[in-house]
Amino acid sequence: MAIQTINPFTNSVVESYEEMPPEAVKAIISIADEAFQHWRKTAFSERAALLHKVAKLMRAQSDQLARLITLEMGKLLAQSKGEITLSADIIDYYADHGETFLKDQPLNPTFGEAYIKSTPIGVLLGVEPWNFPFYQVARFAAPNIMAGNVVLVKHASNVPQCALAIERLFREAGAPIGVYTNLFLSGSRVDEVVADVRIKGVALTGSEAAGASIAAAAGKALKKSVLELGGSDAFIVLADADIEQAVHWAVIGRMNNTGQCCVAAKRIIVVEEIAEEFLNKFKAKLTGLKVGDPMEPQTELGPLSSQGAADQLIDQVKRSVDAGAKVLLGGNLIDRDGAFIEATIISDIKPGMAAYQEELFGPVAAFYRVKDEQAAIELANDSPFGLGGSIFTQDIEKGKRLAEQIDTGMVFINHPTWTQADLPFGGTKRSGYGRELSSLGIQEFVNKKLIRVSKLTDPF
């Protein structure tokens, strides 16, 4: 697989990089393993100081780094800047709180003394996606480096300049060689890295197929894995919702990052009595989005990450329409250079259709009308995915009761599924397992070691 920057606004190749040969990868793993032997013994204060420097550099270089994101995968520039800010916030969050999260946990045994000590486990591999090339890495690297582990990152092959930029930030901040290392590898070679005895765990954010492959490789090698895979989040609007606010958030929830977000509001589920009003207002908002260069501040709908991604999404729409779904808005590639798709709404979607079962990764909203709130919950749960979801209602207690019935890792009330440093992120079903962010994210790759103290006079 080519490791290239291809600008999706023009579909032109900007930069190409060579894949690392096997001997170079083995040498990198050796360096990382040696670095771990030192890094595991450093004080939390030293680890925190490094992370704070990385975050400071990231903010200082925000404009330059944001332009790299937009160049490589087409994100609107303002959203790219927001991603850099979020990433720096996550890094600072773990620098500030990591020691507290990992402090010794005293136990209360029937006799003697006991406590749990959290210790790092070694060299970790992160396999990261292109859609949030800094944020996804920050939420993997920051907690694990703070915990005393060291990380290797195999980034998506279409964001190589972002990958190099993150590694450079760690080096500029003074990270010892081997604490954070970028790997230029094709996906087909990840299993060989996972199999290396010096790799102690692996985290992946990506597709179901990639997750299944990583999980199999990690399981075969008896290594811990954390997977954040696809999603098809339900965006439920109840009869008592503030429709203007619900429409506002539906547009953001579906179109953020041009719809290329695991927790995007992909399935818009609205109760029948307000469905027509909601749909008309939602359609009007999407119709008015300005298409253009993602580097330009006035652009509201940019390109997808690649022409291949755009073609795949159009194919999903076409297969759904051929099976009986209806296009209410858009549904086509835009006739211009670049990987552009019209903002799209499809309806009359039934089980078995592509749009019903598959993740729609782009600016395509699947719209459903349901008779009542219970039907909305049943439809929300009728999905192979279980990442996030949201409920819009002015009755907060009812919203909480319904949220407890949704089979996902996250449910937001009166807001689309979102992310921030102090909230756990992860799913269930085919959306993966394990958690990132918050206090939970730093616990995934540490050894919870029991230390027990007994006296000779204690009973057995």
DSSP 334: -
Beta strands in 22-122 (DSSP E): 105-106, 113-120
DSSP 258: G
Distance CA 6, CA 453 (A): 59
For the chain, give the number of residues.
460
Backbone angles phi, psi at 359, to 5 degrees: -80, 130
What is the phi-psi region of residue 122: left when phi exceeds 0, alpha when psi lies from -120 to 50, beta otherwise? left
Distance CA 133, CA 80 (A): 10
Distance CA 306, CA 109 (A): 57
What one-letter code names the amino acid at 312? Q
Active-site annotation holds for 261: no
Catalytic residue (one of 72, 83, 261, 262): 262
Decide: helix, strand or coil at residue 64. helix
Tokens 């001997």 identify what position? 23
DSSP 240: T
Distance CA 210, CA 431 (A): 12
Distance CA 141, CA 78 (A): 24
Catalytic residue (one of 128, 167, 228, 358): 228
Residue 8, classified by CB atoms within 10 Å of its CB into exposed (0-12), middle (13-18) or buried (19+), is: buried
Decide: helix, strand or coil at residue 406. coil
Q: Which residues pair with 269 in a beta bridge?
A: 236, 368
Q: Yes or no: say if 103 and 180 are a contact pair by the CB < 8 Å rule.
A: no
Decide: helix, strand or coil at residue 49. helix
Distance CA 131, CA 309 (A): 12
CA dihedral 166, 76, 5, 212 (to 10 degrees): 70
Q: Which helix (H) or strand (E) holds 218?
A: helix 208-220
Decide: helix, strand or coil at residue 287. helix
Q: Six-digit token pair at 179?
A: 């604490």
CA distances from 160 to 112, 115, 182, 428, 459 (A): 54, 44, 9, 30, 60
Distance CA 154, CA 149 (A): 16
What one-letter code names the amino acid at 20? M
C-alpha 433: how far from chain center:
13
Q: Which residues are marked as active site?
A: 228, 262
